[in-house]
Every structure is written in structure tokens, then in C-alpha cells.
């Protein structure tokens, strides 16, 4: 699943105003009639439930809108460019890497909640020696190009600690944000005429369009996250708790991308979405294994279910060693969550121990008296469905907390 991409967004610049004079056959001394340039196209991000991943933007480097057309003679206004709608999945975070000057001014003034008015934008005029002369070139307003920015690099870092700015979160279907506003058209020389200046050779450049380098990060909008080491039974647990059909295998890292399922409720009052997050390993907070690809999706879960199981090689060992192994699993998971983002350890949680049908009566008796993270763990078996009702109720309580 492609859930993170880096893109350059470039709105269209406004068209230039025209310097021209009326040259009609029956008008002896025609005055200035240069028209105004058209507005450039804006780029709008829109969250849509029809989009499930960011795959459509993989391999794309730039999304740009067209510029407005220059003003024409006979007071003709240049055509304005169309806005571009960029559809993204619901739950997309927008991180900014760099922006040009005109984009910075709007962000500081309006926080990107609305467009700038034409009066709030700085304009720049130019003067020609004569009608038809070449228009002076002005210095471009561009955003700084980031170095060595690839999808692989982004997948291996924590965006929150990389110096990027979170400028928007599109959490609802239909939510929109004008991420890059198009420029305004410059005035033609007809608008500069006066009693003192009857034949102006002045007009305006169109204002630059906003330009931004952004990272789009898709966040899973799940209520409950199942987290644990590889091969502890998270996928199997998801399949019996919900109607999801994740890949299931007796080997580590069967799940390479998050899987979602909906927890059923008798009154159907609310959908509770459960996510099977790919297994983490020691060092995940530093990018090892699936690393940040795993930890990024935990951030928006309301509650977490720590899924533990006794490793196969411990099944023939003593009860005390088996319980110690479970405690070490829990501490490892908690340590990696804390190292990535300490706020993750503050989420409400439930401890679940799977594969109870494989455990000895002595171990089951000991686990019923055991306390992990100040609570009694829920013992379940996906094979026999023992304990699933207790876990189901615990998940509903977490989601409604």
C-alpha cells in the first residue's frame, strides 16, 4: 500500500496586462486599450472515500495548474485557467517542506483557510519604451527544491521529527483545502490612463501562483489498533473478530500492510473499525523492519490492543519462563511506541494473550492470576473462539472511551 508521497504543487500565475493602443480606421487618435490578464488556476486538495491509497500519485513529481492568458488589445481580458482538484483518501495529513514567498504570505495571513483577495497581493508593474517592445523578465518566485527526497526516504523517517510543518489534516469526506492559490491577472495600460498620462506604456505582471513542496501521508482512521510482534496471531484475531479476510500464514510478516475490519454491534449504532497493524520488531522506532510504516498508523487509533503470545520455543519450558517471555514482549512493544512518540503510550489499552488452546492447564491457571500493565490480560483462542466475547466488549469500550 502506497501511503506516503512527496509532490511539488505549482498553481498557475496570472496573465500579464497588455500595453496597446486603439488602431481603428475611423478613430484618428485611439487611446490605450490594453486588457487585463486572466487568473491562474488554483490547486485544491479534496478528501474522498472513493480513494483508498495514494498509489495514483506514485511516480509523479509535479502537479501544476495552467497560468492565466495575457490581456489582449481592445480591452480584452485574458482567459482564466481552470482549478485542479486533487483527490486524496480520507485521513490524509499534509506536511509542508518548502514554499515560495507568495504562498508564505497567504499562510501567515489566513492559515490556508481561505484565498487571498486581489487587493492583498503585491503587484509589480513594468514599463515599455514603445508599444510592442519586449517585456522585461522578472525574478521568479519559486520554492526551495528539497534534496534526496524519495518515497523510500520518507518511509524511513518520522515526519513529526523531520522539521516538516503539518499544515492540514483532511479527516472528513468532502473536506477541501486550497493548497496552492493561482495568481491574479495584471492590469493593462487602459487602467493606467489619466489626464496627466494619456498614453501610458505601463502595465502589470500577473502575480505568481503559489508553489509548495508537500508530503501527503495517509493515516488509517481506525478506532482500535492490534499491535504486537510478528506471528502472534493478529491477522487471525482480526478475521474472527470482524468479517475481514487478511492473509494468514505460520511465518513472520504475513501482513505487510495494515488491514481493516469492522467490529459488529447489536444495535448498529456505530461502526468500530479495527486495524491489524503489521508486526514490529526491536528497533522499529529507528526504522528497522517495517519501522515507521508500522508506527505511523498507530497515531490516530483511539485505543490499542497489545496482542501477545508465548513463542513456540517456550511452550516446552517452565511456566515462569513462559510468563517472563510475555512480559518481555509487552515491554518491547511499549518501549518502541515510547521511542517513536511518547503520546502513544498514553492511549487506552487492553492486553490480549492469544493461542490459549495451545497452553498447558498450569500456564492458564497462572495467567488468570497474572497482571500486565496494571490489568488482567484477556486470554483468547481464535481456533476455539474462547474469550472472544470478552475481547469484543473490551474493544467496544476502548472505541467509546
What is the pLDDT, as a whole number, of residue 283? 47
Judge if 254 and 378 occupy the same domain: yes
- In degrees, to the nearest 5, what angle opens at C-alpha 276 toward C-alphas 275 and 280? 125
**Residues 179, 65 share a domain:** yes
**Which pLDDT score, from 0 to 100, does residue 245 have?**
63
Long-range contacts: 20-23, Cβ < 8 Å, 24+? 20/72, 20/73, 20/74, 20/131, 20/188, 20/189, 21/131, 21/199, 22/74
Q: Evaluate whether 355 touches 311 at the Cβ level (below 8 Å).
A: no
- Among 192, 218, 244, residue at a domain's last position: 218
**Do 101 and 236 fall into the same domain?**
no
Same domain, 197 and 234: no
Residue ending a domain, among 191, 218, 245, is 218
Looking at the structure, do residues 199 and 245 belong to the same domain, yes or no? no
What local confidence, expressed as pLDDT, does residue 284 receive? 42
Find the CATH number of the domain harbouring 249: 3.40.50.300
CA distances from 152 to 4, 57, 73, 149, 156 (A): 9, 15, 51, 8, 6
- Asked whether the beta carbons of 260 and 223 are under 8 A apart, the reply is no
Based on the fold, state whether residues 174 and 306 are members of the same structural domain.
no
Give yes or no: residues 29 and 144 share one domain: yes
Q: Are 236 and 151 contained in the same domain?
A: no
Domain count, the chain: 2
If asked whether residues 193 and 309 sit together in one domain, one would say: no
Phi-psi region of 287 (alpha: psi -120 to 50; beta: other; left: phi over 0): left
Domain that holds residue 361: 224-399
CATH code, domain with 183? 2.70.210.12
Residues 236 and 212 in one domain: no
3-state SS, residue 391: helix
Identify the domain boundary among 187, 218, 249. 218
The 8-class DSSP code of residue 236 comes to H
Q: Kindly report the number of other CB atoms within 10 A of residue 117's CB atom.
A: 9
Both 262 and 384 in one domain: the answer is: yes
- Digit-by-digit pLDDT tens for the chain (401 residues) are 577 888 999 999 999 999 999 988 777 778 899 999 999 999 999 999 888 788 888 888 999 999 999 999 999 999 999 999 999 988 899 999 999 999 999 988 888 878 888 888 899 999 999 988 999 999 999 999 888 776 655 655 566 667 788 899 998 899 999 999 999 999 999 999 998 999 999 999 999 999 999 999 887 767 888 888 888 888 888 888 887 665 444 544 444 466 778 887 665 556 788 888 776 655 444 544 444 556 777 777 889 999 999 998 999 999 999 999 999 999 998 888 888 778 888 889 999 999 999 999 999 999 999 999 889 999 999 889 999 999 999 988 888 76
Shared domain check, 253 and 358: yes
Write down the pLDDT at residue 175: 94
| DSSP helix/strand/coil, 307 | strand
Amino acid at each position: 500500500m502506497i501511503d506516503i508521497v512527496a509532490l511539488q504543487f505549482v498553481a498557475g500565475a496570472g496573465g500579464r496586462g497588455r500595453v496597446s493602443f486603439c488602431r481603428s480606421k475611423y478613430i484618428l487618435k485611439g487611446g490605450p486599450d490594453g486588457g487585463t490578464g486572466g487568473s491562474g488556476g488554483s490547486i485544491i486538495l479534496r478528501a474522498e472515500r472513493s480513494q483508498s491509497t495514494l498509489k495514483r500519485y506514485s511516480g509523479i513529481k509535479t502537479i501544476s495548474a495552467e497560468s492565466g492568458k495575457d490581456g489582449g488589445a481592445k480591452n480584452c481580458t485574458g482567459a482564466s485557467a481552470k482549478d485542479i482538484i486533487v483527490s486524496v483518501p480520507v485521513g490524509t495529513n499534509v506536511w509542508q517542506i518548502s514554499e515560495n514567498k507568495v504562498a508564505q504570505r497567504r499562510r501567515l495571513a489566513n492559515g490556508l483557510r481561505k484565498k487571498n483577495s486581489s487587493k492583498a497581493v503585491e503587484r509589480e508593474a513594468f514599463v515599455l519604451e514603445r508599444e510592442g517592445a519586449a517585456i522585461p523578465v522578472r525574478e521568479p518566485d519559486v520554492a526551495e527544491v528539497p534534496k534526496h527526497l524519495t518515497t523510500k526516504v520518507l518511509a524511513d523517517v518520522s515526519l513529526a521529527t523531520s522539521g516538516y510543518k503539518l499544515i492540514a489534516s483532511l479527516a472528513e469526506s468532502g473536506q477541501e483545502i486550497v493548497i496552492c492559490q493561482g495568481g491574479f491577472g495584471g492590469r493593462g495600460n487602459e487602467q493606467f490612463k489619466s489626464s496627466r498620462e494619456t498614453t501610458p506604456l505601463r502595465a502589470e505582471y500577473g502575480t505568481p501562483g503559489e508553489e509548495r513542496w508537500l508530503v501527503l501521508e495517509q493515516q488509517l482512521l481506525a478506532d482500535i489498533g492490534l499491535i504486537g510482534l510478528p506471528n502472534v496471531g493478529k491477522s487471525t484475531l482480526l478475521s474472527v473478530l470482524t468479517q475481514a479476510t487478511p492473509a494468514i500464514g505460520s511465518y513472520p510478516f504475513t501482513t505487510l500492510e495494515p488491514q481493516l475490519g469492522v467490529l459488529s454491534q447489536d444495535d448498529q449504532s456505530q461502526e468500530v473499525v479495527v486495524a491489524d497493524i503489521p508486526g514490529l520488531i526491536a528497533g522499529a522506532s529507528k526504522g528497522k523492519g517495517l519501522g515507521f510504516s508500522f508506527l505511523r498508523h498507530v497515531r490516530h487509533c483511539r485505543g490499542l490492543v497489545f496482542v501477545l503470545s508465548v513463542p513456540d520455543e517456550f511452550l516446552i519450558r517452565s511456566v515462569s519462563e513462559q510468563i517472563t517471555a510475555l512480559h518481555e514482549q509487552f515491554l518491547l512493544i511499549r518501549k518502541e511506541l515510547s521511542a517513536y512518540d511518547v503520546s502513544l503510550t498514553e492511549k487506552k489499552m487492553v492486553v490480549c494473550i492469544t493461542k490459549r488452546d495451545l497452553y498447558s492447564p498450569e500456564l492458564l491457571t497462572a495467567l488468570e492470576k497474572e497482571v500486565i500493565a496494571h490489568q488482567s490480560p484477556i486470554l483468547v483462542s481464535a481456533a476455539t473462539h474462547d474469550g472472544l466475547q470478552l475481547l469484543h466488549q473490551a474493544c467496544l469500550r476502548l472505541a467509546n472511551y
